[in-house]
Amino acid sequence: MDASTSGTPTIQHHSIPDQPIAPIVAPPVTTFQRQIRHCFGDSKPGEFPLAANPSIVLHVLTACNLDAQDLAKLEATCSFFRQPANFAPDHELSIAELAALDMCQERAIFKPMTEEERQNLKQRCGGSWKLVLRFLLAGETCFRREKSQAIAGPGHSIAVTSKGVVYSFGSNSSGQLGHGHTEEDWRPRPIRSLQEIRIIQAAAGAGRTMLISDAGKVYAFGKDSFGEIEYGVQGSKLVTTPQLVESLKDIFVVQAAIGNFFTAVLSREGRVYTFSWGNDGKLGHSTEPNDVEPHPLLGPLENIPVVQIAAGYCYLLCLACEPDGRMSVYSVGCGLGGKLGHGSRTDEKYPRRIEQFQNLNLQPMVVAAGAWHAAVVGRDGRVCTWGWGRYGCLGHGNEECESVPKVVEALRNVKAVHVATGDYTTFVVSDDGDVFSFGCGESASLGHSIFADGQGNRHANVLSPELVTSLKQMNERVVQISLTNSIYWNAHTFALTESGKLYAFGAGDKGQLGVELVNNQTERGNPERVDIDLS
């Protein structure tokens, strides 16, 4: 088929005469003076191009919510960030310091402080607002300050909503539920007498409860003694409704931790105070078993701010901010089982820093104290455990004791953000909301299947971390785990999700799960939703 028959127009060809091709001649090269160019334009190296309007830079730094480490790096790499910015309230402060101060002023605990209190905190943290910011942010990271939380105490439970409303349920033989009577109750009920008070943190011990308000006040109820009833040290009266702890009225408290034979509180400035340690081993001070006056923890931590405390069986752990910018853990008390982390089983009368974290190049961010073992989550997501390894509660695949912190290798592919420890049990929460547990399988408190194995064992111990599939199936991101930390009670466990839902499993014989058990049941093997909205 040719072009005429196909309908395609005929292409006309034109004759183009051949022309000589002129040679391409390069123009003469002009010689330029070599100039030094860099990313800051015409400024000198180390200067910053927005220096003409530093308020813009300050706004950006504050809005980005940088942490203290980031601000310090800016100062180290550019002179603009470390020179005096000539801004109020302190014209000598650098842009980085001003940004840190602005971010401190957004923290709920910092806002009500007077100027004198702020300056005292600054000096205690090392003389820098960046270090104050590090201190405040670390405190928010390691426990759910100003957020909802659930506490699985020995036989009873406490739940705090994000608005500061407190629910309690379970055993109430000492009035530890705070409802004005001593009858146990499996239904979560709000504590009516606290209606006008916003609670931000709770602690539960054997027969007693402590609550902390956003104003730093401490309310306690239950046994009026700090001794254990099992050892015959029972108070002269029971307190069945929350009562202000008068001895702490001059201390702004942000956290409480109840251990065996003692209670510790942490002040807003990072100071630790303890009540009663008993006659055999003094916790950094001398006191009697029933002493209810707070005593400051003596020793190295007198001048180092603490951001979190955790209490176990006769020992205390403190997460502290060192003046050089490092985070560290101090331990004090009974060293049985190696739970103090110093490579021995020796008791420590005064707080002593655990040096192994420096050897591991690990920055501790969250600390947990079980009855006989302890755990830490590092900034990089690694988990360390140490102490008595019975039932596999250390997660190292055996039941050996570890007298210094040891990384849980089975979690090397998991970035952890939270850890909780109990009586020979441990839970780890990853950054994507997955939950792993290991240790003693009694009371179904690990959350794994309770079907009998080939030998008829319904509650097998778990020596290495295992994913809690029953929580994974909830399709909810878990943000907090709380479990019973007492050698005298069967354990139960709470899992709190990002949306404010609360799930419970484990022992429920006293109603501590917040769900009704029927047909003579004493425990719940699979997580069940508790009828409280904590969001």
User: Is the backbone peptide bond immediately before 364 cis, with ω within 30 degrees of 0?
Assistant: no
pLDDT of residue 458: 54
Residue pLDDT, tens place only, 199-209: 999 999 999 99
Q: In degrees rounded to 5, what are phi and psi of residue 357? A: -65, -35
Burial code (b: 16+ CB inside 10 Å, e: under 16) for 201-226 equals bbbbbbbbbbbbbbebbbbbbbbbbb
- Most confident residue range from 18-27, 285-294, 307-316: 307-316
Model confidence at 80, pLDDT cuts 50, 70, 90, reads: confident
The dihedral over CA atoms of 321, 70, 62, 430, expressed in degrees to the nearest 10, equals -70
Assess whether pLDDT exceeds 60 at residue 226: no
Can you list the pairs that 49-55 forms with residues at least 24 positions away whose Cβ atoms lie under 8 Å?
51/80, 54/80, 54/85, 54/87, 54/95, 55/87
pLDDT of residue 489: 84
Radius of gyration (Cα) for the chain, nearest Å?
30
How large is the average pLDDT for residues 178-189? Answer: 96
CA–CA distances in Å: residue 41 to residues 77, 80, 93, 174, 406 = 17, 15, 26, 73, 50
Assess whether pLDDT exceeds 70 at residue 159: yes
C-beta separation of 478 from 429 below 8 A: yes
C-beta separation of 208 from 257 below 8 A: no
Residue pLDDT, tens place only, 459-485: 689 999 999 999 999 889 999 999 998
How large is the average pLDDT for residues 2-14? Answer: 43
- Write down the pTM of the prediction: 0.85
The token pair at 108 is 């709920």
pLDDT of residue 49: 53
pLDDT of residue 261: 80
Strands (DSSP E) found in 262-326: 262-267, 272-275, 295-296, 306-311, 315-321
Q: In degrees rounded to 5, what are phi and psi of residue 484? A: -60, 130
C-beta separation of 399 from 389 below 8 A: yes
C-beta separation of 186 from 511 below 8 A: yes
Model confidence at 28, pLDDT cuts 50, 70, 90, reads: low
Q: Which residue has the tokens 């020995």?
A: 154
pLDDT of residue 178: 97
How large is the average pLDDT for residues 493-509? Answer: 95
Residues linked to residue 496 through DSSP beta bridges, in sequence order: 480, 502
Model confidence at 18, pLDDT cuts 50, 70, 90, reads: very low
Q: With left for phi above 0 and alpha for psi between -120 and 50, is residue 232 left, alpha or beta?
A: left
Of the given ranges (232-241, 288-297, 420-429), which has the lowest mean pLDDT? 232-241
pLDDT of residue 227: 41
- The amino acid occupying position 520 is N
